[in-house]
Amino acid sequence: MLETINVSKSFKGKKAVQDVSLYLDNGESVGLIGPNGAGKSTTISMISTLIKPTSGEIKLNGANTINKPEKIRKILGVVPQELALYQELSAYENLKFFGSIYKMKGNDLEKRIQRALEIVGLADRQKDLVKTFSGGMKRRVNIAAALLHRPQILILDEPTVGIDPQSRNHILETVRALNEKDGTTILYTSHYMEEVEQLCDRLYIMDYGEVIAAGTKAELLSILQAEDTVKAELSKMDEAFIQQVKTIDGVRKAEASHLQLKIIAKKGSNLISELVHLADQHQLQIINFHTETPSLEDVFLHLTGRTLRD
């Protein structure tokens, strides 16, 4: 329903986002992940019509949104990375203001405000000024403000940054419920891989302004699934045994230090039975043995040579 086609954005000649193409299907939950400065917020700002792309197209159901932002704004809920709230007003007053400029009125507005506050679990604190809230509570009001007009697409830009685990779980649960129960399409930005893993059906990995990988979790993991890492603990050290292991078909690397043996081998090679057979021949036991499964963090590491967070 929503797609960007090769969108790029330069700020004073410096490229912030380059040729980003992504799409959101109705009811999907999609993650956008990348380290600081990857261009996530810039991409989101372009999708939500707050910044005009330097080049490229953004389409909602096939219609270009760049010069006609009204349509997409109507169905879009945006939770910006920075709090977009009046600190001097109460949670209720904030919602009332934003709701009324969405042209909601009276009873309907009142119901929606209460519903939004319930969703984020702040109904009992609604009369308090936003500036008296904790960081997590502010972020929840920030989300509530994007829910008032019941958007079909909800874009969240790092909604859990810098808050306590409890608020974080609450937010994640809220987003999941919106997606699963209400059918809201979600675009969720984060640099916490585990959040995106939990929430999203599909994800895009961005780095230096570009999408460097995209797909379902399984698809992304398969990038690393050409190889397995096996670790074995041996009963005694035997150099001849190590040399033999290196000759096993599919083994790329075998390293031993003390009694630990680390083997990197091509996926699907007949490693384990060969290993047991060789150990028998050299009269040593394999005390402990395990295969490590790569995580999405490993995928990121593999793709960029860096970890997501420093």
The site for other proteins (CB under 8 A) is made up of 11, 45, 48-52, 69-70, 73-74, 76, 78, 80, 82-89, 93, 96-98, 100-103, 129, 145, 149
CA-to-CA dists, residue 125 to 21, 89, 115, angstroms:
41, 13, 14
Among residues 18, 29, 42, 244, the one that binds ligand ATP under rule CB under 6 A: 42
Interhelix angle 91-101/135-147, rounded to 10 degrees, is 20
| Segment holding 106, helix H or strand E | helix 106-119
Query: Using CB distances below 5 to 8 A depending on partner kind, what does residue 39 bind out of Mg ion, ligand ATP, other proteins, none?
Result: ligand ATP
Query: Using CB distances below 5 to 8 A depending on partner kind, what does residue 109 bind out of other proteins, Mg ion, ligand ATP, none?
Result: none
Interhelix angle 106-119/165-180, rounded to 10 degrees, is 120
Residue 46 or 199: the one with the smaller Cβ distance to other proteins is 46
Number of residues near Mg ion (by CB under 5 A):
3
87 DSSP 8-state letter: T
Number of residues near ligand ATP (by CB under 6 A):
13
Residue 191 binds ligand ATP (CB under 6 A): yes
User: How far, in Å, CA of 256 to CA of 136, rounded?
Assistant: 48
Residue 97 or 208: the one with the smaller Cβ distance to other proteins is 97
User: How far, in Å, CA of 197 to CA of 163, rounded?
Assistant: 19
Minimum CB separation from Mg ion for residue 189, in Å?
7
User: How far, in Å, CA of 3 to CA of 46, rounded?
Assistant: 11
Residue 74 or 252: the one with the smaller Cβ distance to other proteins is 74
Backbone angles phi, psi at 180, to 5 degrees: -80, -40
Minimum CB separation from other proteins for residue 88, in Å?
4
Residue 159 binds ligand ATP (CB under 6 A): no
78-107 positions binding Mg ion, by CB under 5 A: 81
Residue 41 binds ligand ATP (CB under 6 A): yes
Query: Using CB distances below 5 to 8 A depending on partner kind, what does residue 49 bind out of ligand ATP, Mg ion, other proteins, none?
Result: other proteins
User: How far, in Å, CA of 23 to CA of 5, rounded?
Assistant: 9
Instruction: Name the token pair of 129.
Output: 């000024």
The mark string for 209-238 relative to ligand ATP (x by CB under 6 A, - otherwise) is ------------------------------
CB atoms within 10 A of CB 7: 24
Residue 40 binds ligand ATP (CB under 6 A): yes
Residue 33 or 275: the one with the smaller Cβ distance to ligand ATP is 33
3-class SS string, 215-274: EEHHHHHCCCCCEEEEEEEECCCCHHHHHHHHCCCCEEEEEEECCEEEEEEECCCCHHHH
Residue 16 binds ligand ATP (CB under 6 A): yes
Instruction: Name the token pair of 31.
Output: 């993650």
In one-letter notation, the amino acid at residue 147 is L
The mark string for 35-54 relative to Mg ion (x by CB under 5 A, - otherwise) is -----xx-------------
Q: Which residues bind Mg ion (CB under 5 A)?
A: 40-41, 81
Q: Which residues bind ligand ATP (CB under 6 A)?
A: 11, 16, 34, 36-42, 81, 158, 191
